[in-house]
Every structure is written in structure tokens, then in C-alpha cells.
Amino acid sequence: MSLRHVTGGLGLLCAAWGGGLLLRQPEPWRIAVWLGGAVAVHDGLVAPLVFAVAALAAAAGLRLRGVPRAALIVAGSLTAIALPPLLRPGPAANPTVLPLDYLRNWLLAMAAVALVTVLHAALRALTRRAGRRA
């Protein structure tokens, strides 16, 4: 038995467990609609955007490998996590529910990802130059 079969079996067990938990909920259809919406948003919005960014980068002659690709994955993941508070409909009835400035914090996180990526690229370029001189 290969690792692929073991991993697939564990995935099926987790899916069955999640399905059992879903069916024990008072209104399982609400969760199913939410999960369906998540799949629709991913397939209808996120995946085409990622494809478009990759196509534009390729057309511009950029190679998105290694650290730039990892930075895009991290930025996308942080954005996916930040979307619910960023898209909230307005002020909450309870001000302690979402008390922070989520837009500012998300922008700071994106800036940190960009800064680390640029610093890594600069250090890599410097070490390549130093290696060529030696």
C-alpha cells in the first residue's frame, strides 16, 4: 500500500466524519449552501484571478517561481482569511464583535509580505553577484 492510498483513505475518513457532523446539525442545508457558495466563489472568482495573474506575469516575461510564488500564495491565503471582516455589512450591533481596523491590518500584512519578498530577492541578487566576483 502506497502513501497515496493511505492519504486518500484518510481523506475519505475525514470526509465521512465531516458528513456525519453535518447531518447532525439542526439545519444542515444552511451549511451545505455555504460550502457550495465557497466552492462557487473559488471556481468562479479565485481560480480565474490566479490564472489571470499567472498569464499576465508570463506575458510580461516574469517567472513566478520559488519565493514570488510563495508570496502570492501567502497573500492570497491572508486575503481569504481577511475577507469576512473586510466585507462585513456595516457597524455591528455589538462593537466588541469586530473591534479592530481590519482593512489597515490586512494592508499591513500585504506590505509585510511584499517587503519580505523584495528583501529576499535583493539578498539573493547580492549573493549571486558576490559569487560571480569570487
pLDDT tens digits for 18-38? 889 888 988 888 888 888 888
Is a pLDDT exceeding 90 seen at residue 3?
yes
Is a pLDDT exceeding 80 seen at residue 63?
no
Residue 89 banded pLDDT, cuts 50, 70, 90: low
Note every long-range contact of 119-124, with CB atoms under 8 Å and residues 24 or more positions apart, other chains counting.
120/67, 121/67, 121/68, 124/67
**Cα–Cα distance measured from residue 79 to residue 72, given in angstroms and rounded to the nearest whole number:** 10
Average pLDDT over residues 69-95: 81
pLDDT at 10: 96
CA–CA–CA angle 89, 90, 95 (5° rounding): 125
Find the helix or strand (DSSP H, E) in which 133 lies.
helix 102-133
Q: Which of 116, 118, 110, 100 is nearest to 76 (CA)?
A: 110
Residue 43 C-alpha cell reads as 471556481
Is a pLDDT exceeding 90 seen at residue 117?
yes
**Cα–Cα distance measured from residue 60 to residue 52, given in angstroms and rounded to the nearest whole number:** 12
Average pLDDT over residues 2-13: 95
pLDDT at 45: 84
- Return left, alpha or beta for 27; rule: phi > 0 is left, psi -120 to 50 is alpha, else beta: beta
Residue 132 banded pLDDT, cuts 50, 70, 90: confident
pLDDT at 55: 87
Q: Do 85 and 98 contact (CB within 8 A), yes or no?
A: yes
